Chain A
C-alpha cells in the first residue's frame, strides 16, 4: 500500500480533457461552457479512469442546470447524468471493474459530458462490453424506467392490458416494445398531429396493440376492458381520463409531467374502484438498491433484447462537444429527436 502511494506521488502525471461545465444555474444553452482541464491519468486506489464515449442530453440534465431538479451536484459541475465509457485504467484496490470494461454512471449528477473522468469505483457500473453504442449510451434511464414500471407495481400476466399516454416519448416506445416481448397488450395515447398515420404505423411496428389520440381518449368511445396499469407522463386532463380506464384495483404510475399540470384523478375510480396512484423515479430506484444483483439481472434481460434486435435502436442527432450550444438548444425545443454527444 505504502509503496503504491509513494509511487503515485512521485510519478503523478496528468492528461488533458475537454468537458461541458456549468458554474451557476441558468438557461442551459447559456449556462453550459466548454473548458479544458487536467485529470491525473493514474487513478487512486479506489478510482477508475474512464474515457467517455457517448452521452445523451436528457430533460433531467436540463432541469439540473436550471436548478430545478432534486439532485443538485456541487458547483461548478460537469453536465450530463447518462452515457457510457471505457475504463482505461484502474486503481490498485479496484475489484469490481477492470481495464477495458464499459461502464455507465452509478449515481445521479456524475457528469458525463466529458472526454475523460476520474471516478470512484462505486460511482460507475459495468455493463455488457458488446452492446452497441446506440444502446449503451442510453441504457441507464429510459429502458429501465419502462422495465421497472411494468414489473414493480402490478403483477402483470401475459394477455393483460396496460395503457399509457406520451406513448411517442422515448420511455413510451420502450414500454411498447417490452410489452410486446412480454405478451402484454398496450393501449397507447398520443397527441393528434399532421402525420398521425405515420406515427401510428411506427408505434404499431414497435408492437403497439392500439394507438388512440388524446381526443379519442377524452371521447371515451373506445372501451378497453381489463386495464391493470396506466403509465402517465403527461398529467392534467390526460391523467384524469387515463385513470378512468383502470379496472378495479388498478394502478396509475406517474413518471413525468409534460403538460406541467398537476396529476388529476376522478373521485369515482379512487373510492369505488380502489385504484391507486403511485410515482416512479429511476434515480431513487438506483439509490435504494443495496446490492448490484437486481440491477445486473435487469440489464442482462434488457441487453439481451437489444442485442437480439427485439428492442430497436433509438434515433439520435450526433453532436461534438464544441456544438454544445446548438445541441442543448435543440434538446430544449425539439422533443422528437434525442441529442447525443459523441466524446471519443
Chain B
C-alpha cells in the first residue's frame, strides 16, 4: 500500500457562481511520485479573472468538474520520482491544459512542469506564466519595433499592462499608457511612472489632449495593446501610425471592440488578437514559447519585471478572496498555500 499525504484543496464540483460552488476539501495525494513525476508542494497561486470564468463555465476550454482551481502558481518539488529531471527544492510551475494549483500537494507529470528560477521572488514566480508572456508575445510577434518606437495601451494598470510597461522599458520602447480615471489617479500615475511608464493619461485626458500630445512627440505608435474593448479599443487604435497593428488580449469592458472604419480603410491598420494559453500550445509556436519563458525569467531575475501589488490570503480565507476578486474593486488576491520553509509530512 502506497503512502499518501492529506492535502487541503479548493475544488469546484460543478460550474456555477464561484462564491457557491468552490469549497475547501481534503484529498489524498500519493506520497510516492511515479516514474518522471514529482510530488509538488504548492506555495502560491493568484486568483485570476480566468479562474472566475473557468469556475463559471464561461471559458472557451472547459475541464469537467470536479476540478481543483487555479491557473498559474509556483511550487517546490517535495519529492522527485524515479527518472525525474527535477530535484527536491526546485521551484516549478505547471504549463498544461489542466492546472490544479489550489492544493497543498499534487503529483504532476514531468512533462507538464516548467522549472522556475529559484531566485525569482515567490509572488512574481506565481504570476509569471500568463501576464509577462502575454506582454512579451504582443511586443515581439506582431510589429517589428525599434528602440524609441511608441506603443500605446489601455488597461495599463492591469497585470498585462504593467508587464507591458516594464518590457517596453527593458526593450527601449516608449509606452503611452491609458487608465480609467479614479480617486487616487495621481498615485496610480506615480506607480506606473516608477515601473517605467513614459506617459500616463486617463481616457478623458487622452481624448482632449491626444492631438497636441502626438504632435509633441512627433511620432505615432506602431502598436496598440487592447485589454478593454468598446470605445477604448477605438481610442488607442485610431491614433496608430499608418499600417500599425492593434493586438487584443482581453475584453474587460465586456463590450464589443470598436475600430473606426477610416482607421481600417484609410490608415490600413490591422487588428489581431492573442490568448497566450492557446498561442503557446500551437505546435508552430513551441520554440518561441520556450524562448519567451526563458527571457521572461531572465528579466524577472534581473529585477526588470516585478510583481504586481497583490493581497496575500491563506486558502482558508478563500471565500473572502473569491468575493473580492469578483467585485473587482480590490487588488489581485494571492493564495499563500504553503509557507516556503514548512516541510511537514
Contacts and interface: CB of A to CB of B under 8 A. Distances in A.
Interface in A251-270: 254-257, 262-270
A255 B259 CA distance: 13
B260 A256 contact: no
Given A240-B256, A265-B256, A271 B265 contact: no
B153 interface: no
Nearest to B226: A270
Secondary structure of the A contact surface, majority rule: mixed
Q: Which of A263, A268, A270, A277 has the most CB of B within 10 A?
A: A270
A277 B233 CA distance: 13
A268 B60 contact: yes
Interface residues of A, number: 27
A266 to B, nearest CB: 6
A281 B242 CA distance: 13
B259 A265 contact: yes
Interface stretch (B17-25, B272-280, B299-307): B272-280
B114 interface: no
B249 interface: yes
B178 to A, nearest CB: 17
Interface in A263-306: 263-272, 274-281, 284
Nearest to B249: A271
A275 B273 contact: yes
Contact of A262 (B234, B249, B268, B270): B234
A240 B259 CA distance: 11
B269 interface: yes
Contacts of A255: 265
A225 interface: no
Contacts of A267: 229, 248, 250-251, 256-257, 273
Contacts, number: 88
A43 interface: no
A265 B261 contact: no
Given A263-B264, A265-B257, A271 B248 contact: yes
B258 interface: yes
A204 to B, nearest CB: 29
Contact of B271 (A240, A257, A265, A268): A265
Contact of B250 (A235, A256, A271, A284): A271
Nearest to A255: B265
A264 B268 contact: no
Nearest to A277: B271
Nearest to B238: A262
Nearest to B273: A270
A70 interface: yes
Contacts of A276: 270-272
B268 A284 contact: yes
Contact of B258 (A262, A270, A284): A262
Nearest to B276: A271
A281 B259 contact: no
Nearest to B254: A267
A279 B274 CA distance: 20
A275 B248 CA distance: 11
Contacts of B229: 267
Interface of B: 60, 229, 234, 248-251, 256-275, 278
